Structure 1
Amino acid sequence: MPGRVWTPGAREDDEVVLTGSNLPAVGEYNQTVVLDAIRRHPDGSTRSKLATATGLSSMTVANVCRRLLASGLIEEHGTRVSGPGKPPGILRLNPAGGFSIGVHIDPAVVTYVVVDLAGEVRDHTRSGTPSAQDPASVIDEMGRSINALIETSGVDRSRVLGIGIATPGPVNIADGIVLNPPMLPHWHRVPLRTALSAATGLPVLLEKDVTAAAVAELWYADAADSRDFAFMYYGTGLGTGIAVGGEVVRGVSSNAGDPGHMTVDPNGPECVCGRRGCVGYSTTPRALVERAQREGIVPGAAAGIPEVDAAFTALAALARAGDAAAYAVVADAARQLARAVVVLVNLLDIERVIFGGPFWSRIASIVLDVLPSVVRSDPALVPPHDVRFTESVIPVDVAAVGAATLVFDSTFSPRASTLLISAG
């Protein structure tokens, strides 16, 4: 993933960039503006081009770049010949200038990643999801896993900027608390952010998993990619990350993105909410496995998450191999997902739907063979524009990488709100 992975999609001649200010009181803001402009150009940029892109004076850019070079966040490579005089130096992000740890807590597995400042995953590991009723033991295990990963990855611990955690909702972002995720029965009001920070000595950010996935997609986007999309996250459950106008939609309590109780089949199975045909109940891996087991396509009976995982893998393999009954199970789920997608496209007027998540790849080829035509032919579809369907470009685990990206986004993204002067 070298080069392009940390870019949000700008080209060398892109004018869609934030501009800075020359006021002395906003030095830190100007620093983030310049750093943001540098990371948008993975092939490097000169100081003069940075000044043009940011609207800052040449002297301000020079001073900011001097600080960034001294801090190790950027590095200068060679020169670019552009006319008479001394050739200008080429400034790029220093991949080793900063690292972030991303943690994704899924009911099936916990994924840990180390991501460098250029967006490359340096190392990753997985472990079973802790289900102990004692939150302290859960935090201790995660803290040990994070410390071990930093050690084995060989990165400079002093350069680790923080930890991002992506977890199923609902969450209390303000207090860093995991409330009561339905598929993590022993996780009730776990103060994960504070406790994990104490266990590792690092700052911690907490985010809902589907939101973290959307953040990652924005950071990794190509120049031509739409900034208005829904990320259909297919894991143990179904979630949706939303980006509109290049900004992630979090909602009032940061718990946006739960389409699970959207009805897609009025005659479908009864959901735990009492309604029938909820998309989050009818299309999950467990639901597909239970149907396949009832029809004798795969043996056994759905039990715990590991058994569902194994049976889902077997079902998907049969479907991809052309087994008609297995294919029908997955294709029916694709049609139900398509109905949910139509509602989302109508509601948000988005141009792209992205698919990803830990269970997605096993059924991707079948769903993408069935779903697009069902969406486009649905008489309920309102927007006149075409809708594109793509897969996540993120390797490993998109929510884990998204969690790591949260740290970089929080640390380095320029935000005009930082310019506000407190009345107190």
Structure 2
Amino acid sequence: MGDFNQSVILDSIRRSEEGLSRVELAGSAGLAAQTVSNICRRLLDSGLIVEAGKETSGPGKPRTILRLNPKGMFAVGVHIDPALTSFALVDAVGTVLEALEVPTDFSQPAEDAVRAMGREIRSLVARSGVDEGRIAGVGVATPGPVDAASGTVVAPPHMPGWTRVPLRDILAEATGLPVVMDKDVTAAAVAELWTGSAGGASNFVYVYIGTGIGAGLVLGDEVVRGSSGNVGEIGHIITDPDGPPCDCGRRGCVKVTCMPETLVAEARALGALPAAEGAHPATLQADLAALAAAAQGGNAEAAGILERSAWRLAGAVSVLTNLLDVDQVVFGGPFWPSLADTYLARFPDLLAQLSVTTDVHSVGVAGTRLLTSGEAFGAACLVMEKTFSPNAAQLLLDSKP
């Protein structure tokens, strides 16, 4: 109960831009004044919060304002993508202090590549000058599927050789730090919730557009992960029954109609992009950007490809918004900027047309407001979530003798 109450206090202070007094904390948390005072004393002694001046409001003693100490805690984030692996060192208020991107290495066994990531993390921390004792842990965001219980990457598409890689344990050994691992789409949803970038929505779907497309889910201000940590695998929702065949045996799934790789291949086939041999994950982001530029430049084939992809993906996303009755859809991921103009122009009307709740409430559509190093920042937010956010599981009593 003490850990839960402390998380409630920390989370309340974190969410307040101006800071809160002990009296305000007691009121918002529903805790006794003495309990709040004791918790705040521990947090001040540990350096997680600081006293940030006095505030006078009416008669009586001025109240001392409490805020998070930016230097009280740090987290490292690692985002693994088939093209790039990005790193970020983040302070307690979400400022990115160090960031780095390197090509994802498939030239050596996956276990060795993860150990190399560990060395990169240690080098990043050393360059920053941050006290390693203040680093709460490393958050890793990786393509799914994952085995969340064992911290294992199972067999992500486009990542040859990464079959049942015990990423969490290898990285913890290589860095000497606690490691939290999650799917990239879930980490992105955590970042949106943690920073309030979703405009304060309590119920939203985060559509992650990377090498693959997935969905992160937030319901009632809580990130939904599913029984194995693999929620949001939307690749086999059918968007076009007459579309291309999928490896699942059906036709027109998201996987073969909406993925960036699919759009670029269609553009090459229709002459909207120059021909090339095979798909290249390392250049896929640039290829999609070139497709978007062609569409903006008046290429009708390129514009048609993006328009069709918006229509198809809206059908898949509407399945989620209707099923879950959410208020908002947020788009993000490393490939999102190339699609933003078309999708933001088309999705509101498409979702209104496909939504069963149109007469009750609208479904907002927005792009992420997280900027550079967003994916690695989202991974770091996994550590912040674990540290700051109250978790009802903390209230469960241990039944072991």
Scaled to the shorter chain, the TM-score interval is: over 0.9
Partner of 2:67: 92
Distance 1:387 1:246, change over 3 A: same
Distance 1:284 1:206, change over 3 A: same
Counterpart residue type for residue 98 of structure 2: D
Matched, 1:144 2:124: no
Aligned partner (choices 101, 117, 130) of residue 92 of structure 2? 117
Counterpart residue type for residue 315 of structure 1: L
Partner of 1:401: 377
| Whole-Å separation in 1 of the counterparts to 2:309 and 2:318 | 14
Partner of 1:374: 350
Q: Please tell me whether the aligned partners of residues 357 and 397 of structure 1 are also in contact (alpha carbons under 8 angstroms).
A: no
| Whole-Å separation in 2 of the counterparts to 1:102 and 1:333 | 31
Counterpart residue type for residue 290 of structure 1: A
Counterpart residue type for residue 31 of structure 2: L
Structure 1 stretches of 5 or more lacking a match?
A: 1-25
Partner of 1:320: 296
Matched, 1:390 2:351: no
Q: Please tell me whether the aligned partners of residues 144 and 183 of structure 2 are also in contact (alpha carbons under 8 angstroms).
A: yes
| Whole-Å separation in 1 of the counterparts to 2:334 and 2:344 | 16
Partner of 1:107: 82
Counterparts of 1:217-256 in structure 2, within 5 Å, are: 217-221=192-196, 225-256=200-231
Partner of 2:71: helix, strand, or coil? Answer: helix
**Same amino acid, percent of matched pairs:** 48
Matched, 1:62 2:37: yes
Counterparts of 1:298-317 in structure 2, within 5 Å, are: 298-301=273-276, 302-317=278-293
Structure 2 stretches of 5 or more lacking a match?
A: none
Between 412-421 and 354-363, the greater mean CA deviation after superposition = 412-421
| Whole-Å separation in 2 of the counterparts to 1:263 and 1:372 | 20
| Whole-Å separation in 2 of the counterparts to 1:334 and 1:397 | 26
Partner of 1:77: helix, strand, or coil? Answer: strand
Aligned partner (choices 373, 380, 390) of residue 414 of structure 1? 390
Counterparts of 1:190-269 in structure 2, within 5 Å, are: 190-221=165-196, 225-269=200-244
Partner of 1:95: helix, strand, or coil? Answer: coil
Q: CA deviation at 1:420?
A: 2.8
Q: Please tell me whether the aligned partners of residues 198 and 368 of structure 2 are also in contact (alpha carbons under 8 angstroms).
A: no
> What value does the CA root-mean-square deviation take over the aligned residues?
1.7
TM-score, normalised relative to structure 1: 0.90
Partner of 1:164: 139
Counterpart residue type for residue 336 of structure 1: R
Q: Please tell me whether the aligned partners of residues 356 and 398 of structure 1 are also in contact (alpha carbons under 8 angstroms).
A: no
Counterpart residue type for residue 150 of structure 1: V
Counterpart residue type for residue 340 of structure 1: A
Q: Please tell me whether the aligned partners of residues 197 and 368 of structure 2 are also in contact (alpha carbons under 8 angstroms).
A: no
Q: CA deviation at 1:368?
A: 1.3
| Whole-Å separation in 2 of the counterparts to 1:390 and 1:255 | 24
Q: CA deviation at 1:136?
A: 3.0
Matched, 1:277 2:252: yes
Counterpart residue type for residue 129 of structure 1: T
Q: Please tell me whether the aligned partners of residues 132 and 186 of structure 1 are also in contact (alpha carbons under 8 angstroms).
A: no
| Whole-Å separation in 2 of the counterparts to 1:272 and 1:44 | 53
Partner of 1:71: 46
Q: Please tell me whether the aligned partners of residues 392 and 398 of structure 1 are also in contact (alpha carbons under 8 angstroms).
A: no
Q: Any idea what the Cα deviations from partners look like across 1:116-167, whole Å, max 9, x if unmatched? A: 1111222211111121452331122101111122122332222110001111
Q: Please tell me whether the aligned partners of residues 337 and 371 of structure 1 are also in contact (alpha carbons under 8 angstroms).
A: no
Q: CA deviation at 1:414?
A: 2.1
Counterparts of 1:8-47 in structure 2, within 5 Å, are: 26-47=1-22
Counterpart residue type for residue 382 of structure 2: L
Distance 1:257 1:121, change over 3 A: same
Q: CA deviation at 1:84?
A: 4.4
Q: Please tell me whether the aligned partners of residues 111 and 165 of structure 2 are also in contact (alpha carbons under 8 angstroms).
A: no
| Whole-Å separation in 2 of the counterparts to 1:52 and 1:311 | 53
Q: CA deviation at 1:224?
A: 5.4
| Whole-Å separation in 2 of the counterparts to 1:416 and 1:356 | 29
Distance 1:372 1:27, change over 3 A: closer
Work out the number of aligned pairs and report it: 397
Distance 1:346 1:27, change over 3 A: closer
Counterparts of 1:288-299 in structure 2, within 5 Å, are: 288-299=263-274
Partner of 1:363: helix, strand, or coil? Answer: helix
Distance 1:81 1:115, change over 3 A: same
Matched, 1:177 2:152: yes
Q: CA deviation at 1:85?
A: 4.8
Q: Any idea what the Cα deviations from partners look like across 1:318-372, whole Å, max 9, x if unmatched? A: 1123322211111111111111122111111111111000001012011211222
Q: Please tell me whether the aligned partners of residues 338 and 372 of structure 1 are also in contact (alpha carbons under 8 angstroms).
A: no
Aligned partner (choices 130, 133, 142) of residue 155 of structure 1? 130
Q: Please tell me whether the aligned partners of residues 197 and 370 of structure 2 are also in contact (alpha carbons under 8 angstroms).
A: no
| Whole-Å separation in 1 of the counterparts to 2:348 and 2:209 | 17
Counterpart residue type for residue 417 of structure 1: A
Aligned partner (choices 303, 314, 324) of residue 348 of structure 1? 324
Distance 1:370 1:419, change over 3 A: closer
